[in-house]
Amino acid sequence: MKAVVLAAGVGERMSPLTDTRSKMLIPVAGKPILEYVFESLRGADITDVTVVVGYQKKSIIDYFGDGRKFGMKLDYVEQPEPKGTAHAISVTSMDDTFVTINGDVYCDAASLVDTIKKHEDEGDILTMGAYKVKSASSYGVIRTKNGRVTGVIEKPKKTSNRLINAGVYIFEPEIYDAIRKTPYSERGEKEITTSIGILIESGKPITVNRLDSWVHIGRPWDILQANEQALRVQKPAIECEIEPNAHVAENVRIESGTQIRSGSYIEGPTYIGKDCDIGPNCYIRPYTSISENVRIGNAVEVKNSVIMEGTHAAHHSYIGDSIVGANCNFGSGTKVGNLRLDAGNIMMTLREGLADTGRRKLGAVLGDGVQTGINSMINPGVKLGQNSAIGPGVVLTRDLQANRCVLVEQKEREEAWKK
């Protein structure tokens, strides 16, 4: 069986992280999101994959190449414009049963195998992977009757049904006929859920299969959830130098070329990439992923965060429940808040407006190249665009756009302060 992976999207909700990279290349526990999709396919004995690319296509192709390094055979086709998921599938050509999976979906191989088997057993034109979530208002909700799909309702305002479309499909080639009949939406897109609706209206039976493990990485805080799941199942390994009097837990993976200095305390599960400089006397708490060439120095505490390559936090800083882009620099004493004073859910501004993240603990999202001055503070849920900066003593309470700087102005009083 062959597969189609959809990796052409811009990922606007993931800004500022996607302003400089494809969402598919955001690292989770040391590997890009898209690599986990390939691992799941490989676990289902699917190695012949067509990848639909668009935004940042060169970076994806440069990273994965022909796929041999990852045990895959990869071919690439371009979706010239972002015109929806059905349009993305339409630029491919499959003449037999095939898997389609969104490139920003973290799904376990066992669930994928089970979905394929159910498709083969039932013999329907389509089998949809589904997952039960706590709140379905941000997803496409699947309606079923007697084990068959009767409809998909996109982002309902109110629903008691929590079974959602997981972006994992087993298609027969007839899907191309339905896509050709699919009209463009008001946004100028062809959506695969509309194509599925056409199949349903024509009386074609569609099966649904529940997935055991799934994360859709569509919003910045989803990265933390995917990172947590990946770290839970990673294989521990220590391939670096550790100085005396440093503590490294058993469920930690550290790559070669990294140095763990004396007094460092590293709990797991945690991932630390190549050529990092960790310590002395720092505290790295569980569910932290640190990419290559990162500096975590004296009296720095990092908790449940993703730190991308080349970032430095050299001294006296706290980073909690945050996603930090590449080549950022934290001035001494920088603190990233991750809990509201009233302990309510953290809010974050996305493309469509202010969103409830559903998380009581969530820090900041920093684009690439952000700098902070000494003793600065960033409030929970704040986003900083690429190459932005906050000066010494700043308390940042709102989002900061790319290439902008916030400073605290000081004024000298003319009169003497002592008489």
106 within a domain of the structure (yes/no): yes
User: Which amino acid appears at position 34 of this protein?
Assistant: L
pLDDT at 160: 75
391 within a domain of the structure (yes/no): yes
Average pLDDT value for residue range 101-114: 94
pLDDT at 417 over 70: no
Mark which of 218, 244, 268 sits at the end of a domain.
Answer: 218
Residue 67 structural domain: 2-218
pLDDT at 98: 98
Average pLDDT value for residue range 159-168: 87
CA 289 to chain centroid, in Å, comes to 13
Residue 315 a catalytic site member:
yes
pLDDT at 413: 73
CATH number at residue 133: 3.90.550.10
pLDDT tens-digit series, residues 380-393: 999 999 999 999 99
Length of the chain: 419
Distance CA 151, CA 248 (A): 50
**120 with 180, same domain?**
yes
Average pLDDT value for residue range 270-277: 98
Average pLDDT value for residue range 266-278: 98
pLDDT at 320: 98
Tokens of 324: 């930090």
Q: Which residues contact 302 (CB under 8 A, 6 or more apart)?
A: 282, 283, 284, 285, 288, 290, 296, 313, 319, 320
CB burial class (10 A; 0-12, 13-18, 19+) of residue 246?
Answer: buried
188 within a domain of the structure (yes/no): yes
pTM of the model: 0.93
Average pLDDT value for residue range 107-117: 95
**185 with 247, same domain?**
no
For residue 238, how many other CB atoms are within 10 A of its CB? 16
pLDDT at 133: 87
Residue entry with tokens 């979530």: 133
Give me the sign of the Cα torsion angle 287, 43, 89, 79: positive
Q: How many domains does the chain have?
A: 2
pLDDT at 144: 87
Q: Are 274 and 258 in contact (CB under 8 A)?
A: yes
Residue entry with tokens 């069986």: 1
411 within a domain of the structure (yes/no): no
pLDDT tens-digit series, residues 282-314: 999 999 999 999 999 999 999 999 999 999 999
Tokens of 315: 């001294």
Instruction: Give me the percent of the chain exceeding a pLDDT of 90.
Output: 87
pLDDT at 274 over 70: yes
Average pLDDT value for residue range 142-157: 86
pLDDT at 418 over 80: no
CATH number at residue 401: 2.160.10.10
Q: Are 166 and 131 in contact (CB under 8 A)?
A: yes
413 within a domain of the structure (yes/no): no
The catalytic residue among 87, 216, 315, 316 is: 315
pLDDT at 258 over 70: yes
**201 with 231, same domain?**
no
Average pLDDT over the chain, rounded to whole?
95
pLDDT at 419: 61
